[in-house]
Amino acid sequence: MKEIQVGLIGFGTVGTGVVKILREKGDLLSSLVGVPIKLKRIADQDLNRDRGVPVPKGVLTDQVEQILEDPDISIVIELIGGLEPARSFILKALEKGKHVVTANKALLAHKGNEIFKKAMDSKLDVGFEASVCGGIPVILALQQGLVANEIESIFGIFNGTSNFILTRMTEQELPYSAALKEAQQMGYAEADPTLDVEGLDTVHKLSILMYLAYGAPLNPEAVFVEGITRIGALDIAFAREFGYSIKLLAICRKEGSLLEARVHPTMIPKSHMLANVQGAYNALHIKGDSVGDILLYGQGAGMMPTGSAVVSDLVNMGRNINKGIAQRIPQNLSIQRFKEKGLSFKPFQEVMTHYYFRFSALDRPGVLSTIAGILGANQISVASVIQKGREIEGSVPIVMMTHEARESDVQKAIQEIDRLAVITDRTVIVRVEN
Amino acid sequence: MKEIQVGLIGFGTVGTGVVKILREKGDLLSSLVGVPIKLKRIADQDLNRDRGVPVPKGVLTDQVEQILEDPDISIVIELIGGLEPARSFILKALEKGKHVVTANKALLAHKGNEIFKKAMDSKLDVGFEASVCGGIPVILALQQGLVANEIESIFGIFNGTSNFILTRMTEQELPYSAALKEAQQMGYAEADPTLDVEGLDTVHKLSILMYLAYGAPLNPEAVFVEGITRIGALDIAFAREFGYSIKLLAICRKEGSLLEARVHPTMIPKSHMLANVQGAYNALHIKGDSVGDILLYGQGAGMMPTGSAVVSDLVNMGRNINKGIAQRIPQNLSIQRFKEKGLSFKPFQEVMTHYYFRFSALDRPGVLSTIAGILGANQISVASVIQKGREIEGSVPIVMMTHEARESDVQKAIQEIDRLAVITDRTVIVRVEN
């Protein structure tokens, strides 16, 4: 083999990072693979924008077929994001016998079962290191480094935008809206931040990790999700008083044959390493039955970190191509394992955890006892209460931390409480992990 | 291929962990490889000790030749540690066409050039994930995950024993000797703790990482080393006052074509993630030019974490054997890169950093000015001074933090100061990283 030819679809931020790395480190990468890697063609709709990296004449095209139909290209990198046409391009590439590298977590979470099956049937590989936690080698850890482990739990901060906002709210005591605005000004949040702040992006990434760890079929619907938009500066201040930080956490825990999977703002003890993950950083905490606790930390997004992950896939795929092999890591087996082991998702209503409630109530006698009564009637036992006289628009915050309680009981109780005439706003619920 | 047969040399703590994992997870591991992995034979001098894991009759032998001479065994795991006979066994295994997995950092640091060359010439692989940071997949990260990066620096806590001792000294304000005793009682330190507390074990691990990151020929002599035995409770208290923690740190930094490589007690800001690595845990902080900062954290030693790393090598090697390939990752290239790039080790005397000095001086007028004068004459500029009246056996501690200074100047100045009649004990030097 003289060289491995690569086609890149999508010349946006991450695509530019990939092109930069391939340009600057071509010799190094070729020596790490064993044969040269050549970026033969880049397809993008915008042929004119200056990305700050020179591209030889003839490489850039707006015709994606020039990549998909080129028999000399053996690896296609998909970096356009979104479901369509990314899905069609990837399926077409696989049909044409090309390996695929993608950073597209939304696509894998929603259509990964189809894509991985197609790759398996075609005896091809799909690299997706860049789809979770950017430059942190988390896919590698699960597919290779931790194979001797049953994964007992996964805790993670997978969304830099949300973590940046929560960090600014904590450090600067900003309200949510001001922190979001700052994140947008600094380029950490998009004009429409929904996917990030509502937790959906985190759900996509958790789904991919559960596919690797348990063979769980890719299905974002199976993961409970709640975003950070209702967290107030007040909640962060109370959390601090109780010794906690609030993070948008992805949580997966295996108990027997049940998998708990949820994404929501979570109070974690300030001393936990995840509590110290600040700004736009990501981290993954895994507990394995052999290895114990592992934490992987780094930049989860951005041109160069994500480019680094894409290129690592390219190198590892290139090494396989150079050796004339594919499917070195049996990708389908994890799904079989899920079925063989009789695993299933635990209904969210049955989750047991600790809770923080912030009630907004009129400052009247008897309110506290009414609330406590409803909680008690729903088997929710209160561990501590803070009621401080700071009146905000006529109501006072009453904060409670509970002992372990059941999600269904909590939802029932809070619905009942929120209907009381003395309650002036929807109760804020933050789940707590100790 | 029906199955991959494995021979294990050394049925000690880690060996027992490997046998446990292979017993309990045989089916899972076979499915992850594609063919069954069979532990055919275990060689150990002690045939009678109960390791708490059942071994089928005929598997355990005290004749290592039964592994090395068995043509059906394709992977040999070496877990006896030390230089000889481990080196001879590994070379013999390679001669006989067997791949090797080892956790032996001392051997790789001292004899790795010979072993890796032999493996390369024989077209075989050596897996050594377990040699650095136990269960944390650090070798994997450098060989595969971070290949798109020039590594700018490596900072690490690689020795659980020393970190446990320093943690106990910090948390409980214990003197070194009491913390060491506790570590020994808890099984974290050996009866002779020299390799751990004098930093040699950390040097071995740093040498291996520098081989991967820069192709630096394996040579522990090229790394400056100083242990933790002279750190006192007083130094830890002063460090805290300045906002630092003291850790036994492995440091490697690339500047131009020079590699700085050193292992010594180091003050790092309390807010740095490495400062929060407590007890027997390990962590590796890498800075790559694409990926930025990466931290990998977990248990660096112990039966199951290290067993987890050994088995991950076994699985990855098994995947290659199953596909009929070897040397998927070109192991020799990194060495070539070192030469091609004209890299060399920076002489330790030329290192520039900040310093903490604790002088033990008689409480006499003029001492401070004498010390400051000698420092100044050696181009060492003092950033802050603490002199407190606590007299210990007739002398007082005088503590100084310096601006950036040159190691050779510091050694010269401290030698001169330690010869002063008013200085009652050797000055404690702790280097500082900000």
pLDDT tens sequence across B104-126: 999 999 999 999 999 999 999 99
B39 lies in the same domain as B131 = yes
Rounded mean pLDDT, A356-366: 93
B314 lies in the same domain as B288 = no
pLDDT value of position B317? 97
In a domain, B343, yes or no: no
Does residue A336 or residue B311 have the better pLDDT?
B311
pLDDT value of position B365? 87
Selected residue of B39, B129, B147, B327 to mutate for chain A interface (largest A Cβ count, 10 A):
B147
A126 lies in the same domain as A32 = yes
The answer to whether B112 and B332 have CB atoms below 8 angstroms apart is: no
Instruction: Give start and end residues of each alpha helix (H) in A69-159.
Output: 86-95, 105-121, 138-140
In a domain, B340, yes or no: no
pLDDT tens sequence across A60-101: 999 999 999 999 999 999 999 999 999 999 999 999 999 999
B271 lies in the same domain as B317 = no
pLDDT-based confidence at residue B408 (cuts at 50, 70, 90): very high
Residue of B nearest to A300 (CA): B291
In a domain, A341, yes or no: no
CB of B28 less than 8 A from some CB of A: yes
Bridge-based pairing of strands A382-387 and A423-432 is unpaired
Pick from A299, A312, A323: CB nearest B146: A312
pLDDT at residue B393 tops 80:
no
- Environment class of A339 (CB within 10 Å of its CB; exposed 0-12, middle 13-18, buried 19+): exposed
pLDDT tens sequence across A263-285: 999 999 999 999 999 999 999 99
Rounded mean pLDDT, A370-399: 89
| CATH number, domain containing residue A279 | 3.30.360.10
Residue % of chain B over a pLDDT of 90 = 92
Rounded mean pLDDT, B173-178: 95
In a domain, A49, yes or no: yes
Pick from B129, B146, B297: CB nearest A294: B297
Give the CA-trace dihedral at B416, B417, B419, B420, to 10 degrees: 130
Residue % of chain A over a pLDDT of 70 = 98
Cα B415 to Cα B418: distance, rounded to the nearest angstrom: 5
Chain B residue numbers with beta carbons less than 8 Å from the beta carbon of A291 are 134-136, 298-299, 304-305, 308-309
B182 lies in the same domain as B288 = yes
Distance from CA of B299 to the nearest CA of A (A): 7
| CATH number, domain containing residue B27 | 3.40.50.720
Pick from A145, A293, A336: CB nearest B137: A145
Beta bridge partners of A157: A283
pLDDT value of position B337? 75
The answer to whether B89 and B115 have CB atoms below 8 angstroms apart is: no
Rounded mean pLDDT, A108-123: 96
Question: What's the farthest any 2 CA atoms get from each other in chain B?
Answer: 83
| CATH number, domain containing residue B405 | 3.30.70.260
Alpha-carbon distances, residue A306 vs A11, A15, A132, A246, B126 (angstroms): 13, 9, 9, 26, 30
Cα A32 to Cα A36: distance, rounded to the nearest angstrom: 9
Cα B434 to Cα B423: distance, rounded to the nearest angstrom: 29
B168 lies in the same domain as B273 = yes
B293 with A299: Cβ contact below 8 A: yes
In A363-410, beta strands by DSSP E: 382-387, 395-402, 405-406
Can you spell out the DSSP letters for A20-64? HHHHHTHHHHHHHHSS-EEEEEEE-S-SS---SS---TTTEES-T
pLDDT value of position B38? 96
Cα A321 to Cα A290: distance, rounded to the nearest angstrom: 33
Alpha-carbon distances, residue B407 vs B157, B207, B343, B344, B428 (angstroms): 22, 21, 21, 18, 14
Does residue B395 or residue A12 have the better pLDDT?
A12
pLDDT tens sequence across A14-55: 999 999 999 999 988 998 999 999 999 999 999 999 999 999
Residue of A nearest to B307 (CA): A290
Distance from CA of A258 to the nearest CA of B (A): 19
B149 lies in the same domain as B292 = yes
pLDDT tens sequence across A198-243: 999 999 999 999 999 999 999 999 999 999 999 999 999 999 999 9
pLDDT value of position B388? 75
Range of the domain at B295: 138-299
Contact map slice: B 167-206 vs A, CB within 8 A: none
pLDDT tens sequence across B51-72: 999 999 899 999 999 999 999 9
pLDDT value of position A75? 98
pLDDT value of position A130? 98
In a domain, B338, yes or no: no
B109 lies in the same domain as B189 = no
DSSP state of A217: P
Pick from A34, A149, A330: CB nearest B34: A330
A324 lies in the same domain as A273 = no
pLDDT at residue B280 tops 70:
yes
Rounded mean pLDDT, B190-210: 97
Q: Please provide the average confidence, as pLDDT, over all residues in chain B.
A: 95
pLDDT tens sequence across B141-156: 999 999 999 999 999 9
In a domain, B387, yes or no: yes
pLDDT value of position B202? 98
B363 lies in the same domain as B383 = yes
In a domain, A321, yes or no: yes
pLDDT at residue A333 tops 70:
no
Residue of A nearest to B19 (CA): A148
Selected residue of A123, A147, A329 to mutate for chain B interface (largest B Cβ count, 10 A):
A147
pLDDT value of position A1? 65
Rounded mean pLDDT, B70-96: 98
pLDDT value of position B389? 64
CB of B6 less than 8 A from some CB of A: no
CB of A28 less than 8 A from some CB of B: yes
Q: Please provide the average confidence, as pLDDT, over all residues in chain A.
A: 95
Whole-structure pTM over 0.80, yes or no? Answer: yes
* Block residue for tokens 């480190």: A25
Distance from CA of A12 to the nearest CA of B (A): 17
pLDDT tens sequence across B326-351: 999 987 666 667 877 899 999 999 99
pLDDT at residue B1 tops 70:
no
A200 lies in the same domain as A122 = no
B297 with A292: Cβ contact below 8 A: no
Cα B130 to Cα B305: distance, rounded to the nearest angstrom: 9
Cα A46 to Cα A309: distance, rounded to the nearest angstrom: 24
The total of structural domains in chain B comes to 3
Distance from CA of B365 to the nearest CA of A (A): 45
Bridge-based pairing of strands B281-288 and B382-387 is unpaired
pLDDT-based confidence at residue A297 (cuts at 50, 70, 90): very high
Residue % of chain B over a pLDDT of 70 = 98
Q: Which of A317, A135, A101, A144 is nearest to B329 (CA)?
A: A317
The residues of A that are catalytic are 205
Distance from CA of A313 to the nearest CA of B (A): 8
Q: Which of A344, A365, A355, A346 is nearest to A405 (CA)?
A: A355
The answer to whether A99 and A78 have CB atoms below 8 angstroms apart is: no
pLDDT at residue B390 tops 80:
no
Chain B residue numbers with beta carbons less than 8 Å from the beta carbon of A315 are 144, 147-148
Q: For residue A260, give both structure tokens.
A: 């708990």
In a domain, A171, yes or no: yes
A177 lies in the same domain as A281 = yes
Please enumerate in sequence order all residues whose Cβ is within 8 A of that of B244, keeping only pairs 6 or more positions apart, or say none.
Answer: B267, B268, B269, B270, B275, B432
